[in-house]
Amino acid sequence: MAFSAYQWHRARPDIFGSAVAALPPLAALPRRGRSLETFLLSGRDLAAARASARTGALALPNVSRGIDRLIRHYRASPLARFHQAFAAERRAIDRAAIYGVPDLPPCLARPLVEPNDLLLKPEYLQNLVRGLLARGWSAARIAALVEREYLADHQWGDRWVRLDARTRADFDVRVFAGLVLTGHDRLIDFNCVSSREKGICPESGCGHDLDDDRRALVARVAMWRARP
């Protein structure tokens, strides 16, 4: 709510760290035409909120025309085509029917070998998605595989009672695969050197070169984007 205080970082030093938790509350202030940079860097403490509340207008701007342009642009985009294909295939896939995962180098296979908790970590899941896409898997099939592992007995506790495994799997895989297939993920860090720098490589001396996977994936993206 406008002029209220955001204090989640103060309540959870275990997540944000003690230095961030020591920061004062952040006030939710109306932007009122200021540039985003100015808005983020200007005072947002409780005193600024009190001062702004005396004169601040809370009328929501009419953004309907902008939203309409956004929707039209999205519907004509490669991303929309990807989302439509993903949703259609995902409805038809039964996670129990996902089998025959190809042989993967250790860096790509790690989140499947140790799903809890590597399959929850973005860097490992992104690596797995890239590797399976390079081997001809569809994004929907990858999502079904991830969901299957989320629901398998990997000592998850009550995680998938509190949260929906399919929603988590679909969202994460759809984001990573969408970035790849629309060309926004340029795969610059999809190589062995970057994997070692990010701590993904298990340093097993496997001899596999992720550049081969990258070249295969680049070719697949080019084919996908060339489709009408």
**pLDDT tens-place string over residues 70-93:** 999 999 999 999 999 999 999 998
pLDDT at 57 > cutoff 80: no
- Note the pLDDT of residue 96: 67
pLDDT at 170 > cutoff 90: yes
Cα of first residue to Cα of last residue in the chain, in angstroms, is 45
Tokens standing for 201?
A: 């490589």
177 contact partners, CB below 8 Å, separation of at least 6: 82, 86, 129, 133, 139, 142
Counting residues of the chain whose pLDDT is more than 70, the rounded percentage is 98
Q: Which of 73, 79, 180, 65 is nearest to 129 (CA)?
A: 180
For the chain, the structural domain boundaries read 5-55, 76-226
Mean pLDDT throughout 203-212?
A: 91
211 contact partners, CB below 8 Å, separation of at least 6: 191, 192
pLDDT band at 32 (very low <50, low <70, confident <90, very high): confident
Better-scored residue on pLDDT, 53 or 123: 123
CA torsion angle 59 61 62 67 (round to 10): -140
Better-scored residue on pLDDT, 129 or 28: 129
pLDDT at 56 > cutoff 80: no
Q: Are 214 and 191 in contact (CB under 8 A)?
A: yes
pLDDT at 94 > cutoff 80: no
Mean pLDDT throughout 9-15?
A: 89
Mean pLDDT throughout 109-135?
A: 95
pLDDT at 58 > cutoff 80: no
Calpha distance 30→56 (Å, rounded): 7
pLDDT at 209 > cutoff 90: yes
How many CB atoms are located within 10 Å of the residue 69 CB?
10
pLDDT at 201 > cutoff 70: yes
